[in-house]
């Protein structure tokens, strides 16, 4: 592999470029923005690593969003994201250039890829982080992630091993505005590509759901465990239809089979930023609120006046979900 000199290779911050569903999934761009502020404190550069076929356009996009350097490995056999091949190639790049920090979005691929990569590199990994900072004294990366079932937030440091690796929840950081005049370097390191032969992609087809329907909705109605039954959950769809919105759910509601995994909000689900979010029968666990914190206005319905969800709600209704929903539907049907 040919080495290319970088300004501060031992201090660089790397971001894995997950460009699939580029217009819906902005987490790589959000990470570049955050890496940029962290890099200023470390006196380092931000590098995005991109693997795939004909990915030059993404490299240009990453520069426009703040990357100082984009490292591209372009090859037809890298067209599909393949965890074994990607781990081997990226591990080789890391060993060559030795970045200080390596970040990826907690996308389905990032969640599979980064643990394998960390294992290969014999370093630590914090998953689903919701904050990142640099310690002023030690210059170590402070990786904040929910722990012990969300009961507390753990601040993790990787003291002895490199790189300091973390996956980050989508929607936590803001992306920078696209600047087509931004200047960055794009390099193509020489790597030996041997696609993993044990795993072969035979075929693939897109998921049959409307992509981005929840993430882009102006109104979102969420049902939690307190919604009780499937019949009650259906009334959330009635409310969403009246308000031209979409329906989301917490983990217990999905686990109870009230709706599909594609409607899950939170740390392990989607993040939404609607103008109005009505959350019904949800307690306000951190793993859930992580996914709704970008909402403009939150209305919470819960029978327990002490439920933590009221701490983040703009308006709280204390009472039984079924009675309040019935009343709300009745009133809205008369008005609309
Ligand atoms: C690693 C990890 C990742 C996780 N990721 C996610 C995630 O991505 N998304 C997620 O949602 N969860 C996630 N969880 C689970 C999370 O910790 C909570 O358990 C979950 O969010 C709670 O869902 P809930 O609020 O619906 O249920 P509960 O916490 O059980 O709350 C139910 C609420 O409903 C109220 N209620 C009950 N009956 C009524 C009624 N008749 N009328 C009105 N209110 C009523 C209760 O007062 C209570 O406050 C994760 C957990 C872990 C450990």
Question: Is 226 inside a domain boundary?
Answer: yes
Structure confidence at residue 244 (pLDDT): 92
Question: Is 326 inside a domain boundary?
Answer: yes
Q: Are residues 234 and 123 in the same domain?
A: no
Q: Are residues 57 and 183 in the same domain?
A: yes
Domain of residue 61 covers: 9-187
Question: Is 199 inside a domain boundary?
Answer: no
Going by the DSSP 8-state scheme, the letter that residue 155 receives in this structure is E
Q: Are the beta carbons of 143 and 157 closer than 8 angstroms?
A: yes
Q: Are residues 243 and 136 in the same domain?
A: no
In angstroms, what is the span from residue 332 Cα to ligand 1's centroid? 27
Q: Are residues 91 and 49 in the same domain?
A: yes
Give the C-alpha distances (Å, rounded to integers) separating 73 from 23, 61, 62, 227, 258. Answer: 22, 16, 15, 49, 43
Cα 286 → chain centroid: 15
In angstroms, what is the span from residue 102 Cα to ligand 1's centroid? 32
User: 181: helix, coil or strand?
Assistant: coil
DSSP H/E element including 324 = helix 321-335
Question: Is 214 inside a domain boundary?
Answer: no
Residue nearest to atom 37 of ligand 1 (CA): 226
Structure confidence at residue 252 (pLDDT): 93
Determine if ligand 1 sits within 6 Å of the CB of residue 251. yes
In angstroms, what is the span from residue 284 Cα to ligand 1's centroid? 7
Structure confidence at residue 9 (pLDDT): 47
Q: Are residues 230 and 143 in the same domain?
A: no
Backbone angles phi, psi at 62, to 5 degrees: -65, -35
Q: Are residues 23 and 144 in the same domain?
A: yes
Determine if ligand 1 sits within 6 Å of the CB of residue 167. no
pLDDT digit of tens for each residue in the chain (336 aa)? 344 444 444 569 999 999 987 776 789 999 999 999 999 999 999 999 999 999 999 999 999 999 999 999 999 989 888 898 999 999 999 999 999 999 999 988 999 999 999 999 999 999 999 999 999 999 999 999 988 766 688 999 999 999 999 999 888 899 999 999 999 999 999 888 876 667 777 887 765 556 678 988 999 999 999 998 888 999 999 999 999 999 999 999 998 889 988 999 998 899 999 999 999 999 999 999 999 999 999 999 999 999 999 999 999 999 999 999 999 999 998 886
Residue nearest to atom 7 of ligand 1 (CA): 266
In angstroms, what is the span from residue 289 Cα to ligand 1's centroid? 10
Determine if ligand 1 sits within 6 Å of the CB of residue 171. no
Determine if ligand 1 sits within 6 Å of the CB of residue 233. no
Q: Are residues 67 and 144 in the same domain?
A: yes
Q: Are residues 176 and 243 in the same domain?
A: no
Q: How many domains does the chain have?
A: 2
In angstroms, what is the span from residue 24 Cα to ligand 1's centroid? 26
Residue 320: CB atoms within 10 A of its CB come to 14
Residue nearest to atom 6 of ligand 1 (CA): 287
Q: CATH number, domain at 53? A: 3.40.50.620
Determine if ligand 1 sits within 6 Å of the CB of residue 305. no
Report H helices in the chain: 27-42, 56-64, 83-97, 108-121, 230-242, 251-255, 286-289, 309-312, 321-335
Q: Are residues 141 and 246 in the same domain?
A: no
Q: Are the beta carbons of 301 and 324 closer than 8 angstroms?
A: yes
Determine if ligand 1 sits within 6 Å of the CB of residue 170. no
Residues 102 and 114: their CA atoms lie apart, in Å, by 9
Residues 10 and 7: their CA atoms lie apart, in Å, by 9
Question: Position of tokens 């103008």?
Answer: 275
User: pLDDT tens-digit profile of 10-19?
Assistant: 569 999 999 9
Query: Two tokens at 79?
Result: 């067209």
Structure confidence at residue 168 (pLDDT): 94
Question: Is 208 inside a domain boundary?
Answer: no
In angstroms, what is the span from residue 302 Cα to ligand 1's centroid? 11
* Domain closes at, from 141, 163, 187: 187
Structure confidence at residue 172 (pLDDT): 87
Query: Two tokens at 304?
Result: 């327990």
Residue nearest to atom 31 of ligand 1 (CA): 283
Q: Which residues of 153-189 are buried (b: 16+ CB within 10 A; e: fewer)?
A: eeebebeeebbbbbbbbbbbbebbeeeeeeebebeeb
Determine if ligand 1 sits within 6 Å of the CB of residue 52. no
Q: Are residues 136 and 78 in the same domain?
A: yes
Determine if ligand 1 sits within 6 Å of the CB of residue 257. no
Q: Are residues 273 and 132 in the same domain?
A: no
Q: Are residues 39 and 180 in the same domain?
A: yes
What atom in ligand 1 is closest to the CA of residue 250? 11
Question: Is 95 inside a domain boundary?
Answer: yes
Structure confidence at residue 195 (pLDDT): 67
Residue nearest to atom 2 of ligand 1 (CA): 149
Question: Is 266 inside a domain boundary?
Answer: yes
Question: Is 211 inside a domain boundary?
Answer: no
In angstroms, what is the span from residue 286 Cα to ligand 1's centroid? 9
Q: CATH number, domain at 288? A: 3.40.50.1220
Torsion over CA: 263, 239, 317, 218 (sign): positive
In angstroms, what is the span from residue 147 Cα to ligand 1's centroid? 16
Residue nearest to atom 12 of ligand 1 (CA): 251
């Amino acid at each position: 592999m040919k080495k290319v000199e970088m300004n501060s290779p031992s201090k660089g911050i790397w971001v894995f470029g997950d460009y699939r569903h580029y217009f819906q999934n902005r987490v790589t761009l959000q990470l570049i923005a955050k890496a940029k502020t962290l890099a200023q404190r470390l006196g380092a550069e931000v590098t995005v690593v991109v693997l795939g076929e004909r990915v030059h356009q993404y490299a240009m996009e990453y520069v426009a969003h703040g990357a100082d350097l984009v490292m591209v490995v372009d090859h037809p056999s890298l067209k599909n994201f393949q965890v074994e091949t990607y781990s081997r190639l990226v591990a080789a790049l890391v060993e060559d250039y030795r970045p200080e920090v390596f970040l990826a979005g907690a996308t389905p691929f990032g969640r599979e890829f980064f643990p394998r990569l960390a294992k290969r590199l014999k370093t630590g990994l914090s998953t689903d982080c919701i904050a990142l900072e640099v310690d002023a004294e030690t210059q170590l990366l402070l990786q904040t992630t929910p722990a012990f079932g969300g009961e507390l937030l753990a601040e993790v440091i990787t003291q002895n091993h490199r790189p300091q690796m973390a996956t980050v929840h989508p929607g936590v950081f803001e992306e920078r505005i696209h600047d087509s005049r931004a200047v960055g370097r794009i390099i193509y390191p020489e790597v030996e590509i041997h696609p993993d032969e044990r795993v072969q992609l035979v075929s693939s087809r897109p998921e049959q759901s409307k992509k981005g329907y929840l993430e882009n909705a102006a109104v979102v109605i969420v049902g939690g465990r307190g919604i009780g039954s499937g019949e009650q959950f259906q009334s959330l769809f009635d409310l969403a239809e009246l308000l031209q919105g979409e329906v989301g759910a917490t983990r217990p509601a999905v686990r109870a089979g009230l709706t599909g995994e594609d409607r899950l909000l939170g740390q392990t689900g989607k993040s939404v930023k609607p103008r109005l979010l009505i959350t019904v029968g949800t307690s306000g666990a951190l793993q859930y609120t992580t996914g709704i914190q970008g909402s403009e206005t939150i209305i919470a319905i819960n029978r327990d006046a002490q439920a933590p969800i009221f701490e983040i709600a703009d308006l709280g209704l204390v009472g039984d979900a079924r009675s309040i929903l019935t009343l709300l539907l009745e009133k809205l049907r008369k008005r609309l």
